Structure 1
Amino acid sequence: MKYRGRVVAVCVVILFNILRYGYYNIYLGYLFEDSFFVLTGIFLLVAWIGGKQYDVAKFYAEKDPLTNAYNRRTIDKVFKKQISVYKNKGKKIAVVLIDLDDFKDINDRFGHQTGDELLRHVAELIMSNAKREDYVVRWGGDEFVHVILDLKENTLKDYVGNLKSTLSNLNMESVDAVSASIGIAIYPDDGETFEKLIQKADTSMYEMKKA
Structure 2
Amino acid sequence: MRESRLAREDALTQLPNRREFHERGLQVFAQAQRQGASFTAVFIDLDRFKEINDTLGHDTGDALLTAVARIIREQVRASDIPARLGGDEFALLLPNMNAEAASVYVEKLRKRLGAAMTEKGWPVTFSIGVASYKVAPQDFDIMVKQADALMYEGRTDLFAD
TM-score of Structure 1 vs Structure 2, range by shorter chain = 0.7 to 0.9
What do residues 63-109 of structure 1 show as CA deviations (whole Å, max 9, x unaligned)? 10100110111122212222332223111121100001110111111
Structure 2 Cα separation of the partners of residues 162 and 173 of structure 1: 16
| Paired residue secondary structure (1:82) | helix
Q: 1:135 aligns with which of 58, 75, 81?
A: 81
Q: 2:69 aligns with which of 102, 120, 123?
A: 123
Amino acid at match of 2:113: L
| Paired residue secondary structure (1:131) | coil
Structure 2 Cα separation of the partners of residues 125 and 182 of structure 1: 15
Following superposition, the deviation at residue 190 of structure 1 comes to: 7.8
Matched, 1:148 2:118: no
Is the 1:190–1:196 contact (alpha carbons within 8 Å) kept by the matching residues of 2?
Answer: no
User: What is the TM-score of this pair, normalised by structure 1?
Assistant: 0.67
Number of the residue aligned with 1:24: none
Matched, 1:163 2:109: yes
Amino acid at match of 2:27: K
Q: Which has the higher strand share?
A: 2
Number of the residue aligned with 1:96: 42
Is the 2:43–2:90 contact (alpha carbons within 8 Å) kept by the matching residues of 1?
Answer: yes
Is the 1:136–1:146 contact (alpha carbons within 8 Å) kept by the matching residues of 2?
Answer: yes
CA 1:171 to 1:188, structure 2 compared with 1: closer, same or farther past 3 Å?
closer
Number of the residue aligned with 1:85: 31
Q: 1:74 aligns with which of 4, 13, 20?
A: 20
CA 1:102 to 1:176, structure 2 compared with 1: closer, same or farther past 3 Å?
closer
Number of the residue aligned with 1:111: 57
Q: Which runs of 5+ in 2 are unaligned?
A: none
CA 1:88 to 1:115, structure 2 compared with 1: closer, same or farther past 3 Å?
same
**Taking CA–CA contacts closer than 8 Å with sequence separation of 6 or more, which of the two structures ends up with the larger relative contact order?**
2
User: What is the TM-score of this pair, normalised by structure 2?
Assistant: 0.86
Q: Which runs of 5+ in 1 are unaligned?
A: 1-53
Q: 1:180 aligns with which of 111, 122, 126?
A: 126
Number of the residue aligned with 1:45: none
